[in-house]
Amino acid sequence: MKMIAGLRFFVVLLLLCFIASANTRDGATWRLHLQEGQTFDQGLVTQVQISRIFQQQPEQLILITRTRLHNEVLRANADGSVMIKSTFQSVNTERYTLKNGTKLPLQQSSTAASQSAAAMQGKSFQVTFSPRGEMLKYEGIDAIARAMLTDIKNPDMQKFMLQMTTRSLEGIARQIAGEVTFPESAVTVGDSWKPPTSSDNNPNIATNYTLMSQQDGVAVVALRSDAASSKTVTEQPHQHTTRTLAGTSSGVIRIDEKTGLIRSYEMHGESHTEAKGTFAAQHYQTTSRGWTLLPASAK
């Protein structure tokens, strides 16, 4: 009888282990879980180093942008999507060049950048995200871009710069949700997933996420993206050139599992572009990092 009882106890232990293992394999799914009226602040810092040949001399340009945003959840929809109002609290830029190890400010470029940054402060836009963190639509970005370009009088140049500036602001809007697409189904540590892709994306970007760890309500995700493209672009009004690009970026994202917001991230990237025409090859090294001050009710 004791042997039978021991066997039964052993079987029960096996069943408990199996159930625990099954629960672990269920994994985690993340979605944006925000409530109307919640607010949260974010900080973004981006540094771009451009290496090129200018007037037959090697040159390095350093561009640094520091942005602080205040966000408010305007609407939490029944389908899980959320509309967020984002306001630029501050935008600071720094631009200089390195020549023979000497740091030289780009005075004219820095002045124009500072004026554009000043035009952004206090301005707001609205952006809607799906539950998985995909940006569905935005409003108000075009108006901010136009406010930044009031000093440009040439209509063709203004149109060109409007396209470039709007694209840059779209990138900032995506950063509100961390520019990460959550997996459709549950994942466990070591699992990888890819975001939905569009066949008309150019450059062609292949992105892969991998869950590295989960602890104390924070999921750590590694990201890697590879890009390659060849397309004809407008570098200046009425100036067209065929530009090829190849690059990669990688980094770490820390997800708050309760809200789906990105607590912090660090990204590093390198890319190389070459163009047929008047523009020389350029090599880019990009470093970016960001943080989110979570809503008080979410801590």
Each residue's pLDDT expressed in tens, for the chain with a length of 299 residues = 433 444 444 444 444 444 444 444 457 789 999 999 999 999 999 999 988 776 677 778 899 999 999 999 999 999 999 999 999 999 998 888 877 777 777 765 556 667 788 889 999 999 999 999 999 999 999 999 988 888 888 887 888 788 888 888 888 898 888 778 999 999 999 999 998 764 444 457 889 999 999 999 999 999 999 988 776 655 555 555 666 778 899 999 999 999 999 999 999 999 887 766 555 678 889 999 999 998 866 55
Q: The tokens of 74 are what?
A: 């305007």
Decide if 283 is inside a domain: yes
pLDDT per residue over 208-230, tens digit each?
999 999 999 999 999 999 988 77
Q: How far is CA 242 from the centre of its chain?
A: 27
* Residue 237 Cα to chain centre, angstroms: 29
Number of H helices, E strands in the chain: 4, 12
In a domain, 7, yes or no: no
Rounded (10°) CA dihedral 164, 198, 50, 283: -140
Residue 7, H or E segment: helix 2-26
User: What pLDDT score was predicted for residue 23?
Assistant: 41
In a domain, residue 268? The reply is yes
In the numeric block, the tokens 């607010």 are attached to 39
Q: What does the pLDDT read at residue 13? A: 41
The answer to whether residue 8 sits within a structural domain is no
For residue 15, being part of any structural domain is answered with no
Flag whether 259 is in a domain: yes
**Which pLDDT value is given to residue 246?**
83
What is the predicted pLDDT for the residue at 105?
77
CA-based torsion, 103, 282, 201, 181: positive or negative: negative
Model pTM above 0.85: no
The number of residues in the chain equals: 299
Considering the domain boundaries, does residue 246 fall inside one?
yes
- CATH number at 182 reads 2.30.230.10
Residue 285 lies in a domain: yes
d(C-alpha 261, C-alpha 259), whole Å = 5
Number of domains in the chain: 1
Cα 28 from chain centroid?
22
Q: Write out the residue range of the structural domain in which residue 116 sits.
A: 31-298
